[in-house]
């Protein structure tokens, strides 16, 4: 299954870092621990709380992150 970003809205972590059990390829191939360490340090965007046990990331924030990776090279 292809894993592409929608135009707008929110994405869950498994959509960003992938999930082999669900056959989702990663957009940003890092581990869950690396992702949350990056969120804590400010390298990756902070999530938005959608409910008591649900967080997601704004697609716009993920696109900005991907753009910054392209500019780093």
- Of 32 and 5, the structure prediction assigns the larger pLDDT to 32
- Of 5 and 60, the structure prediction assigns the larger pLDDT to 60
Taking CA 31 as the corner, what is the angle to CA 10 and CA 22, rounded to the nearest 5 degrees? Answer: 60
Q: Is residue 53 part of a domain?
A: yes
pLDDT digits (tens, 9 = 90+) for 20-72: 898 889 999 999 999 999 999 999 999 999 999 999 999 999 999 999 988 76
Three-state SS for 16?
helix
Is residue 73 scored above 90 in pLDDT?
no
Whole-angstrom CA distances from 4 to 7, 8, 50 are: 9, 12, 21
pLDDT at 69: 86
Q: Residue 2: pLDDT band by 50, 70, 90 thresholds?
A: low
Query: H-type helices in the chain, by residue range?
Result: 13-17, 32-41, 59-72
Q: How many independent structural domains does the chain possess?
A: 1
Q: Is residue 24 part of a domain?
A: yes
Instruction: Give the residue numbers spanning the domain of 51.
Output: 10-67
Q: Is residue 4 part of a domain?
A: no
Q: Is residue 73 part of a domain?
A: no
Q: Is residue 18 part of a domain?
A: yes
């Amino acid at each position: 299954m292809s894993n592409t970003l929608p135009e707008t809205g929110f994405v869950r972590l498994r959509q960003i870092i992938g999930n082999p059990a669900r056959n989702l390829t990663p957009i940003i191939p890092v581990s869950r621990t690396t992702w949350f360490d990056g969120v804590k340090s400010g390298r990756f965007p902070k999530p938005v709380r959608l409910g008591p046990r649900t967080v997601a990331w704004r697609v716009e924030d993920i696109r900005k992150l991907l753009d910054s990776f392209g500019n780093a090279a």
